[in-house]
Amino acid sequence: MRSRSDVLETAILGLLKDSPLHGYELRKRLNLVLGSFRALSYGSLYPALKTLVTRGLIIGTESSEAPSAALAPALSGRRSRIVYELTAEGKEHLQQILAQAGPAAWEDENFDVRFALFGQTDVETRLRILEGRRTRLTERLEAVRESTTRSRARMDEYTWELQRHGLEQVEREVRWLDGLITAERDRGARPTGSANDHPVSRHHTTADGDRRPGTER
């Protein structure tokens, strides 16, 4: 029964893991990841949240006031909004999803979200997903190249150019993956990396201790 697309579900759970959020804010973050630039509509988001609640993976608490916020000034009586956070089952479910390293993880629809959640995924899984995706893309490349050469004659210049450019983009994607893969291998080799590029600004306010080994940087 479970086998749908689930991109949204994964993305929501993944984001809520870091910090509880309300729908409106959630959407903004979602748009940064989910299909890089496009806007997800509320018509999708709110129903999705609803079903996640009924499935017991998240709970929503109405809060008109910031519960314990003493840091940021000038936000007193905001409009009542529903802040969602993961339940225990939700966390478990997310871990289960993040542990999956099969084809589903590297297909077009899911890859981006899974990648965005690599921070919560252990190195071996990351590597398997990256490699899976790489193979997937090269396979596709091969298939297209083959069918292209066969029908090249019947193609006019513009169709051909479009095709060529598409292939080029995918090739570049493969090279991108190559870079990521070697980087991950390095990481695995010397686990306590000192060569961090930017501060990752860890401030997850929730008191949890279930960070899995190999997960963290």
**Closer residue to DNA, CB minimum distance, 7 or 170:** 7
Q: Among residues 44, 151, 182, 206, which is the contact residue for DNA, using CB under 7 A?
A: 44
What is the total residue count of the chain? 217
176 and 111 Cβ atoms separated by less than 8 Å: no
Does 75 bind a copy of itself (CB under 8 A)? Our answer is: no
Does 205 bind DNA (CB under 7 A)? Our answer is: no
Question: Among 149, 107, 156, which residue's Cα sits nearest to residue 4?
Answer: 107
Q: Which DSSP letter does residue 58 get?
A: E
State the distance between the two ends of the chain, measured CA to CA, in whole angstroms: 35
- Cα angle for residues 146, 102, 186 (degrees, 5° grid): 90
Q: How far apart are CA 83 and CA 93, in angstroms?
A: 20
* Residue 21 bridge partners (DSSP): 84
Does 22 bind DNA (CB under 7 A)? Our answer is: yes
Q: How far apart are CA 55 and CA 60, in angstroms?
A: 12
Site track for a copy of itself across 19-48, x = CB under 8 A: -------------xx--xx-----------
Which residues fall within 8 angstroms of residue 74, CB to CB, at 6 or more apart?
none
Does 161 bind a copy of itself (CB under 8 A)? Our answer is: yes
Does 172 bind a copy of itself (CB under 8 A)? Our answer is: yes
Tokens standing for residue 19: 């910090």
Does 150 bind a copy of itself (CB under 8 A)? Our answer is: no
Tell me the window of 75-83, 140-148, 180-188, 196-204 that interacts with DNA (CB under 7 A). Answer: 75-83
Tell me the window of 33-41, 126-134, 172-180, 189-197 that interacts with DNA (CB under 7 A). Answer: 33-41
Q: How far apart are CA 79 and CA 154, in angstroms?
A: 61
**Closer residue to a copy of itself, CB minimum distance, 47 or 166:** 166
Given the rule CB under 8 A, which residues bind a copy of itself?
32-33, 36-37, 112, 115-119, 140, 143-144, 147-148, 151, 153-163, 165-166, 169, 172-173, 176, 180, 197-201, 217
Given the rule CB under 7 A, which residues bind DNA?
4-8, 22-25, 38-44, 46-50, 60, 75-79, 81-82
